[in-house]
Amino acid sequence: MSDATATAAVAPRAVARRLPGALLLAAAVVVLLALPLYLEAFWLRIGLFSMATAVGALGLTILFGAAGQLSLGHAFFVAVGTYGYAFLSGGDTGHVKGLGLPPIVAAVLATLLAGVCGLLFSPVAGRLRGIYLGIASLGLVFLGHHLLLNLRPVTGGYDGRSVTPFSLGGFLFSDSSDLAVLGVPFGAVESLWYLFLAVTAVATLVARNVLRGRPGRAFRLMRDNEVGAAAMGVRVQRAKASAFVLSSMYAGVAGVLTALAFQRAVPDYFDLGLSIDFLAMIILGGLGSTSGAIVGATFVVALPIVLSRYADALPLVVGPGQDGLDASIAAQFVYGALVVVVMLTQPGGLRAMVHTLRQRRRPPYARRTP
Amino acid sequence: MLDIEGLVVRYGAREPVHHGVSLEVAEAGVVALLGANGAGKTSLMRAVSGTLPLHGGSVTAGSIRFLGQEVAGANPASVVAQGLVQVPEGRHVFGALTVDENLDAGGITVRSREARARTRRQLFEMFPRLAERRKQRAGTLSGGEQQMLAIARALMARPKLLLLDEPSLGLAPMLVKQIGETVRDISREGVPVLLVEQNAAMALSVAHRAYVLELGRVVLSGPADELARSDEVRRLYLGEESGPRPGEARPVPELDRWTA
Amino acid sequence: MKRSRPRVVSAAALALALAVTGCSSKATSSSKNTTPGVTDTTIKLGMLMDLSGAFATSGKTSNTAGQFAVDEINAAGGVCGRKIELVVRDHAYDVQKAVTAYDEVAPQVLGFLNVYGSAITGALRDKISANDMLVGLTAFAPTLLGDPHLIVVGSTYDIQAINAVDWLVREGKLKKGDTLGHIYLQGEIGENSLKGSTYATQQLGLKLASQQIKPTDADLTSQVNAVKAAGAKAILLDSTAKQTAAVVSEAQAAGLDVPVVGNVASFAASLLSTAAAPALLKQYYRVSGIGLLSAQTPAVQKLAEKWKAKFGAQQPESGGAVVLSYFSTHLWAKIIGGTCGDLTRKGVLAARAKVTGFSMDGLGPALDLSDPAQPSSRESQIHRPNKSAYAGMEMVEDFKVSDLAKQYQIKAG
Amino acid sequence: MTRLLELLVNGVSLGLLYALITLGFVIVFKATRVVNFAHASFLLLGVYVVASAQPSIGFGAAALLGLAVAGLLGLATERLLLSRVDRRNHHAMAILTIGLNVVLTAELTRRLGESVLPLGAPWDGHVVKLGPLTLPLTVVLTIVAVPVLIGGLTALLTLTGWGLAMRASIADAEGAALVGIRLRRVSATAWVLAGLLATAAGIGLASFPSPGVSLSIESVAIAAFPAAIIGGFDSLGGAIAGGLIVGVVQVLVAGNQDSLSFLGLGAGDVVAYLVMIVVLLWRPSGLFGSKEFSRV
């Protein structure tokens, strides 16, 4: 269903089919824009984390879903983005140094820095495949964690370092801003919400264009058959490197967003677990699809937090500190079990599930064989 | 001995590969199954040997009866146990194992140690090259030797019917000829062979009967020598005139993955 | 079609946004007249603990002991005529969960009775000061000093290390010129403790051989061997409880027969049922800035009885966590009690500085919170394991401050 | 000199335990092409069972029980979960093991928490003096027992029909199916083996001077990842070599922390990955791996 076919000349039936979609999208946009006026900081914070993570997942779904390069090192590149931003925008405080650049410049440079790290690793990435690449990139996570702990002046060591709030054109995205919209005070979470929404939207559009356009086709050709791809004029080494760099830059953006959402950079967040979560997200959502990456990320991020909050209302689960099944453990069980169930019933992920449902509902004439 | 009727194979939700294929292999001799790439030959072989699930496919209609027993949907091990052994396209020898170990593995379903030793002696007479290289890893053998090994490995199971999938693929013309002779020898020893080939010249030279498969349908069948003389076969498969007929589609691209 | 979509979207968005924003409930609820967490009858305090992660045992213990104190305070009429209520959240030692949980709890509470974990505290520090929040900690890092928003109960890790070295020398276990081995955890505990041991060894004419470990290290043979090769006559140890068992057994395995002094977090009662027990009973001591659960004072006995009443024969893994949480909850009540006329977060911060002589017999040293840049006490106790003592530990030496620790200058972080 | 020797012996002992973990991991990968992300929690579960059963039934029986439970867990994973996924969809299966790992880790975290369960092995607490060396008995036993175990496994693989079937399926699954080898049975055995080997290694890791079974053992088991890669995934010898290399390098680096301070503190864990990346730059499929396997 490429957009190219949906020109004005398309039969009215097709337009009729697409119109509800557009309205749905419009409604979704409105809801997303209005949410900060209603939701408490708790929910907005979940939204911020979800969006930050979703951008990272988009990068991984390009790399793994389209180009077939398994990376377990995504957490490393996210860390580069986070600490890159914190260092470039931060000032000198005690032993911890910073360059004090304007936040927007720092954010862009941090993204590029993550890309450069990806580029530096691409000689390794280009030579390796499958599980070899996966575990080699896993090495980056351990290496990165080691550096985070030891490069004190840049990272602040085990204690981490605080993150300069984002500002753009004199507007400060922090709690000290005095802005109020319709009586709702716009603190850090409310204003960051819009920033994150914009970044996520751009990241999604770019990813969609990459996946649907020439690069995506080249990546998929390469994934399915390197020799064949080379025969069709794909420069395999270069395509691999560019997939890796692109995905690292996405991780870098995710890192910057993570820094802003946390308002502090701490080393323990960027561990193997984060890399594996990223992998679980994109596969749960549906490998190689942008919507899958976003849904997967939101699901993985929000589930444990929401479950903990509503622990009291859930059967079998006890509130914090009581004896019995803790909410957080229960969340882990649900997360793990859902991953297993989705893989057993819908190896194509949640997106495939939606797709099947939609096909079932659609009248037969509209059904297409994939 | 082998009766296939109305067979339909599908890979997942894709279009079926076959549209009701029927064919028959007699108690003796060589039956050739010809067809272009994508005609559904390999899928048919997989359906018989029970290896379709390894490739995500399944038999959705029709029956495959071997010596009166239904084998469609059976697992490969029980198919082998019934005496139906396949040499797959691309040989699939155990590259990390020695020639001897490959043959051991081939005879893994044969209980009697003595019977295994006897078969092995016979095979080494038939394939002296393999005897010379018995301690060598199969991965280091040449293509032709690997094909011989794949055939010998299948014969170690003392099959009642041997299925040979594209044995000549990628081999030099001289080796192709040698393979043809081997096939003839095997059938002379009393093991009937179902030979799937793109190389129609070779196949028709050793076969007694032949079927021609096109886009999942049997379009021609009959005694091999008659088919070899027919215009259609000569034009399409024996290379006497090149290029596909107008209107004859190339294989559906999506299917390449499954049949390659 | 493709081009027209954004127009549809933006028009619809605008219309809906106008319709929707007229009645935001958030706008009305966020008036800032009242202090969060305070009503006419209750005062709410938050606790952010690890109740399901790697440190769940400590978290649950602190939670229970804190609740004991709260029940006691409420039974005696509460503070400022109000009952204390706890809002407990589990962060499972996950920074992301902790930050969201903080966002959820912060608007509902006056302050935080306890925020557990250094990584967590680190991530929340900027928010804590932005919210004028007073926060109790289960940590003794001198780097936390100087921030009026954080309460560090008792002596800091560096002072405890100094007191420990001083004790080793006083007991004749170390003599001038001897080498002290110091195995310490990467992170706030170990590195601050190292500052203390470095200072003390310099002042006392000892040599120091230090080895760093990580919280996840399980096999510490090479570190123990390195300390042994340096000729250590005693070991100062900052580690997790599991690692303590590893170090004492490995020291024994390596034929290194010397006393090992650990910090307050380096022991758990269950270690006495492991293969390390004989070595622990023989070699291990613990330095602690807070009281001992098996101490014979009435206040401590009362607490121990409460635990026994609730859990029967099941003794706490960490007596220290029980004492600390109970003690600091009472400290909180004292602080709030000093600002009944101004029950705001700022009022609480000001009231903190008014507490200069808080003590509860045997539970902790006398605390002076007037200067946030100085530790609230410089005293330590020395304990040693004993299978028959409650929670597995008995007293060797009661609260005492060494001369060395008195003159030690703390550089607040 | 003595110290270096001591470090070396300790390193070899640790490396042999890594080798066992890596072997299980590699065998599963080779037989089923599944990256088992739950391998470390198999190990922890097995040894947790040993430690919790040991007070009531004695160490010997508890060890057998732990092995049995981990083996059964492997079997159940294959039979109840993985066999329901299309066997070509290796991604789905790997992600499935991630889900399994999350559940197992959550449950073990809940049960173990911060506590340390004593293993109760008869060799716990014993020290052996060998000339100038003072070594825990565990180290000596590991150095003797693991090679015997690996030797036994090798003999099974080379001398028995079961081993032949195993190796044939690993070399070429389709070829194996076509000679009548039951692939499901082979995958099931591989998963059982993984559970057994992991538990055996876990018993070593939880033995004296380690204080017993605790959550941190799981993070130790992660070292099997770089070990498997250094050795090369398609060679059992490689798994052993990789395990040894990682063990020795880790212990040597940790033991010489002071002179290696330029690497930063706590470099022991990282150095395994550095070695791995260097090896991969030199040989993209590990020391003993063959080319095809990196094409998975």
Indicate contact of A with B: 3+ CB pairs under 8 A: yes
**DSSP secondary structure of A157-182:** GGG-EE-PPPEETTEE-STT---EET
Q: Does D226 sit within 8 Å of A135, measured CB to CB? A: yes
Q: Does B257 sit within 8 Å of A369, measured CB to CB? A: no
- Mean pLDDT within B1-28: 86
If one counts every other C-beta atom within 10 angstroms of the C-beta of residue A138, the result is 25
Which residue's entry shows tokens 């009959």? B222
Distance from CA of A249 to the nearest CA of B (A): 33
Cβ-proximal residues to A213 (8 Å cutoff; 6+ apart), any chain: none
**DSSP secondary structure of C152-210:** --S--HHHHHHHHHHHHHHTTSS-TT-EEEEEEESSHHHHHHHHHHHHHHHHHT-EEEE
Q: Which domain holds residue B51?
A: 2-236
Q: Distance between CA atoms of C66 and C55, rounded to whole angstroms? A: 17
pTM of this prediction exceeds 0.90 = no
Tokens of B189: 């020893």
Most confident region among A54-58, B135-139, C248-252, C311-315 by mean pLDDT: A54-58
Of A14 and C36, more confident? C36
Looking at the 3D structure of chain D, how many domains does it have? Answer: 1
Best D114, D218, D251, D258 residue to mutate vs chain C (most C CBs within 10 Å): D114
Specify the pLDDT at position A108: 96
Please name the chains neighbouring D, where neighbouring means 3+ C-beta pairs under 8 angstroms: A, B, C
D175 and chain B: CB distance < 8 Å anywhere? yes
Residues of B in contact with D166 (CB under 8 A): none
Of D262 and B244, more confident? D262
Tokens of A233: 């004029």
Side-chain-side CA neighbours of residue C221 (13 Å): 31
A196-212, pLDDT tens digit by residue? 999 999 999 999 999 88
- Cα torsion C367, C372, C374, C375: sign: positive
Side-chain-side CA neighbours of residue B118 (13 Å): 7
- Nearest residue in D to C213, CA atom: D266
Of D193 and B229, more confident? D193
Provide CATH code, domain A39-367: 1.10.3470
Residue D94 lies in a domain: yes
Question: Which class for C110: exposed (0-12), middle (13-18), buried (19 or more C-beta within 10 A)?
Answer: buried
Q: In this predicted structure, which of A48-52, A230-234, C233-237 has the lowest mean pLDDT? A: A230-234
Q: Distance between CA atoms of A252 and D167, rounded to whole angstroms? A: 44
Tokens of D117: 């369960």
Residue B244 lies in a domain: no
SS3 C266: helix
Give the closest of C51, C53, C143 to A320, CB-based: C51
Q: Distance between CA atoms of D21 and D39, rounded to whole angstroms? A: 8
Distance from CA of D2 to the nearest CA of C (A): 10
Q: Distance between CA atoms of A47 and A220, rounded to whole angstroms? A: 31
The confidence band for C393, taking pLDDT boundaries of 50, 70 and 90, is: very high
- CATH of residue B185's domain is 3.40.50.300
C244-301, pLDDT tens digit by residue? 988 998 888 778 899 999 988 888 888 888 878 889 999 999 999 999 999 999 999 9
Task: Say whether pLDDT at D73 is over 90.
Answer: yes
Q: Distance between CA atoms of C62 and C163, rounded to whole angstroms? A: 26
Q: Does A309 sit within 8 Å of C30, measured CB to CB? A: no
- Mean pLDDT within B49-61: 88
Q: Distance between CA atoms of A220 and A198, rounded to whole angstroms? A: 28
Cβ-proximal residues to C16 (8 Å cutoff; 6+ apart), any chain: A26, A27, A30, A34
Question: Which class for A1: exposed (0-12), middle (13-18), buried (19 or more C-beta within 10 A)?
Answer: exposed
The confidence band for D262, taking pLDDT boundaries of 50, 70 and 90, is: low
D32-56, pLDDT tens digit by residue? 888 899 999 999 999 999 999 999 9
Task: Say whether pLDDT at D116 is over 70.
Answer: yes
Domains of chain C: 11-154+292-377 (3.40.50.2300), 157-288+386-407 (3.40.50.2300)
User: Maximum Cα–Cα distance for chain C, whole Å?
Assistant: 89
Count of helices and strands (H, E) across chain C: 14, 12
Q: Does D174 sit within 8 Å of B77, measured CB to CB? A: no
Q: Does B14 sit within 8 Å of A369, measured CB to CB? A: yes
Give kind and range of the element (H or E) at residue D276.
helix D268-282
The confidence band for D142, taking pLDDT boundaries of 50, 70 and 90, is: very high
Whether cis (ω within 30° of 0) applies to the bond prior to D209 is yes
* Degrees, nearest 5: CA angle A202-A207-A213: 125
Specify the pLDDT at position A14: 56
Tokens of A222: 């390469």
Residue D293 lies in a domain: no
Contact A83, A265 (CB under 8 A): yes
Question: Which class for B63: exposed (0-12), middle (13-18), buried (19 or more C-beta within 10 A)?
Answer: middle
Residue B126 lies in a domain: yes
Q: Distance between CA atoms of B148 and B142, rounded to whole angstroms? A: 10
Best A159, A172, A263, A312 residue to mutate vs chain C (most C CBs within 10 Å): A159
A218-259, pLDDT tens digit by residue? 888 888 777 778 877 778 888 888 999 999 999 999 999 999
Of C8 and A18, more confident? A18
Across-strand partners of B4? B23, B64
Specify the pLDDT at position A129: 77
Task: Say whether pLDDT at A319 is over 70.
Answer: no
Give the closest of A25, A41, A321 to C63, CB-based: A321
**DSSP secondary structure of B52-113:** GGGGTEEEEEEEEEETTEE-TT--HHHHHHTTEEEE-TT----TTSBHHHHHHHHTTT---H
Specify the pLDDT at position B104: 93
- CATH of residue D261's domain is 1.10.3470
- Mean pLDDT within B180-205: 90
Q: In this predicted structure, which of A205-209, C154-158, D255-259 has the lowest mean pLDDT? A: D255-259
Cβ-proximal residues to D7 (8 Å cutoff; 6+ apart), any chain: C222, C225, D251, D252, D255, D256
CA dihedral C129, C131, C137, C139 (to 10 degrees): -30
D204-233, pLDDT tens digit by residue? 988 877 778 888 788 788 877 888 888 887
Question: Which class for A185: exposed (0-12), middle (13-18), buried (19 or more C-beta within 10 A)?
Answer: middle
B104 and chain D: CB distance < 8 Å anywhere? yes
Residues of A in contact with C31 (CB under 8 A): none
Q: In this predicted structure, which of A99-108, A220-229, B60-69 has the lowest mean pLDDT? A: A220-229
Specify the pLDDT at position B85: 94
Cβ-proximal residues to A262 (8 Å cutoff; 6+ apart), any chain: A163, A269, C95, C96, C99, C123
Q: Which domain holds residue D60?
A: 2-124+135-282
Tokens of A35: 């949410």
Q: Does C103 sit within 8 Å of A45, measured CB to CB? A: yes
Residue D294 lies in a domain: no
Question: Which class for B42: exposed (0-12), middle (13-18), buried (19 or more C-beta within 10 A)?
Answer: buried
Task: Say whether pLDDT at C104 is over 90.
Answer: no
Residue B245 lies in a domain: no
Tell me the one-letter amino acid at B35: G
ipTM over 0.85: no
The confidence band for A20, taking pLDDT boundaries of 50, 70 and 90, is: confident
CA A185 to the chain's CA centroid: 28
Q: How far are the Cα atoms of C32, C336, C347 from residue C342, in angstroms, in the given order?
A: 15, 9, 5
SS3 C326: helix
Tokens of C313: 């024969």
Cβ-proximal residues to C212 (8 Å cutoff; 6+ apart), any chain: C183, C184, C185, C186, C190, D257, D265, D266
Contact A301, C95 (CB under 8 A): no
Q: How many residues does chain C have?
A: 413
User: Maximum Cα–Cα distance for chain D, whole Å?
Assistant: 59
C180-215, pLDDT tens digit by residue? 999 998 777 888 899 999 999 999 999 999 888 877
SS (HEC) of A182-231: CCEECCHHHHHHHHHHHHHHHHHHHHHHHHHCHHHHHHHHHHHCHHHHHH
Residue B258 lies in a domain: no
Of C269 and D296, more confident? C269
SS3 D93: helix
Best D56, D116, D134 residue to mutate vs chain C (most C CBs within 10 Å): D116
Domain boundaries, chain A: 39-367
Q: Provide φ and ψ at C262, rounded to 5°.
A: -105, 170
Cβ-proximal residues to C388 (8 Å cutoff; 6+ apart), any chain: none
Looking at the 3D structure of chain B, how many domains does it have? Answer: 1
Residue D288 lies in a domain: no
Tokens of D169: 């399926």
